[in-house]
């Protein structure tokens, strides 16, 4: 059972980073159900709001934000219950996260915003783009290994409900946990500069209450992604959408539930309304391509910002 869990969800850690920050603060929505941490770098240019994936946090963009802040204002966030953001009863859900981001953008008075989402964060970005209230500030979507493109049957849903639970995840031994990290990368091995991710997850396990709260959040997020698909509404997004996957992504498509599904199948399922939208793959990159290929992604992101500025 544990080996099956390897390819089902991203087991990325809570991460802290020690880069020089321009601004760090917290945003509290009116309902008071979270204090959402955010970090802002750079001055001027488009706002590049980066949304992390399942089990990750703002540290996932450590490499990319440093590069991208040279030509834009990078904003990275910790979703409720991740990283430095408190949960305080926030209900997991793609629409709930999208609403939180909309409120955050409006509170900060950001304009010309590109939502750059990784994995689950990309599904959240697409959900946000479908909100009417987002149209006044949203200029495009830059989606890295997005969840929400691959679809799942009712039988698939039942499988996830059976195996991806806080209880089953809490029983995963440390050796299997390490493999869960490994499979996010093209080489099938956690890079040396990312080894701290695994070490911090082990540290989290030492606090049983915090660890179980984290696993409950992950489980809730998995169900939310399944229950709030976006692929059929992709043509409704009017802004340019760039989708990119690593050529060695071992998580999407899901190799266990959909062994015959290919990246070409995912590409064929993406129907865009904006002629500038595109689907591409990145060589020498796995699911966590934002960590493995930051220079390549930065080059593409810069090109994307220039595309939007010319419209």
The ranges assigned to domains in the chain are 18-157+230-309
The per-residue pLDDT for 191 is 95
Render pLDDT for 229-286 as a digit per residue (tens, 0 to 9): 999 999 999 999 999 999 999 999 999 999 999 999 999 999 999 999 999 999 999 9
Residues whose CB is less than 8 angstroms from the CB of residue 192 and which lie 6 or more positions away in sequence, other chains included? none
Q: Phi/psi zone of residue 33: left (φ > 0), alpha (ψ -120 to 50 degrees), beta?
A: alpha
The pLDDT value given to residue 88: 82
Q: What are the CA-CA distances from residue 101 to residues 41, 121, 219, 292 (Å)?
A: 18, 11, 21, 26
Residue 240 · residue 276 · CB < 8 Å: yes
pTM of structure: 0.92
Q: H or E stretch including 297?
A: helix 294-309
Per-residue pLDDT of the chain (311 residues; tens, 9 = 90+): 444 444 444 444 433 333 434 799 999 998 888 899 999 999 889 999 999 999 899 999 999 999 999 999 999 999 998 989 988 889 999 999 999 999 999 999 999 999 999 999 999 999 999 999 999 999 999 999 999 999 999 999 999 999 999 999 999 999 999 999 999 999 999 999 988 778 878 888 999 999 999 999 999 999 999 999 999 999 999 999 999 999 999 999 999 999 999 999 999 999 999 999 999 999 999 999 999 999 999 999 999 999 866 44
CATH architecture of 18-157+230-309: 3-Layer(aba) Sandwich (3.40)
> For tokens 């091995």, what's the residue?
189
Burial bucket for residue 185 (CB in 10 Å: 0-12, 13-18, 19+): buried
126-157 per-position pLDDT tens digit: 999 999 999 999 999 999 999 999 999 999 99
pLDDT of residue 5: 46
pLDDT at res. 122: 99
Q: How many Cα atoms occupy the beta-carbon half-sphere of 294 within 13 Å? A: 11
Q: Which of 47, 48, 52 is nearest to 37 (CA)?
A: 52
């Amino acid at each position: 059972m544990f080996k099956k869990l390897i390819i089902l969800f991203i087991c990325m850690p809570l991460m802290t980073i020690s880069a020089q920050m321009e601004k760090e603060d917290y945003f509290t929505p009116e309902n008071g159900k979270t204090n959402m941490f955010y970090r802002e770098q750079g001055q001027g240019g488009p706002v590049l709001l980066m949304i992390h994936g399942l089990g990750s946090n703002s540290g996932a963009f450590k490499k990319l934000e440093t590069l991208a802040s040279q030509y834009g204002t990078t904003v990275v966030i910790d979703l409720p219950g991740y990283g430095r953001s408190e949960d305080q009863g926030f209900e997991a859900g793609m629409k709930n996260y999208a609403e939180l981001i909309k409120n955050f953008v409006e509170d900060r008075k950001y304009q010309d915003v590109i939502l750059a989402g990784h994995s689950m964060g990309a599904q959240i970005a697409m959900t946000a783009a479908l909100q009417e209230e987002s149209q006044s500030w949203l200029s495009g979507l830059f989606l890295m290994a997005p969840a929400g493109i691959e679809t799942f049957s009712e039988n698939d849903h039942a499988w996830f409900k059976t195996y991806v639970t806080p209880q089953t995840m809490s029983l995963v031994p440390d050796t299997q946990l390490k493999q869960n990290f490994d499979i996010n990368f093209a080489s099938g091995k956690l890079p040396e500069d990312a080894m701290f991710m695994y070490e911090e997850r082990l540290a989290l396990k030492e606090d049983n209450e915090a660890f179980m709260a984290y696993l409950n959040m992950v489980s809730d997020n998995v169900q939310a992604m399944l229950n709030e698909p976006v692929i059929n509404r992709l043509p409704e997004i009017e802004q340019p959408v760039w989708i990119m996957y690593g050529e060695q992504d071992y998580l999407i498509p899901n190799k266990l539930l959909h062994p015959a599904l290919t990246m070409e199948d995912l590409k064929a399922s993406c129907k865009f309304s904006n002629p500038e939208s595109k689907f591409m793959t990145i060589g020498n990159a796995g699911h966590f391509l934002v960590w493995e290929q930051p220079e390549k992604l930065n080059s593409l992101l810069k090109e994307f910002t220039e595309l939007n500025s010319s419209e």
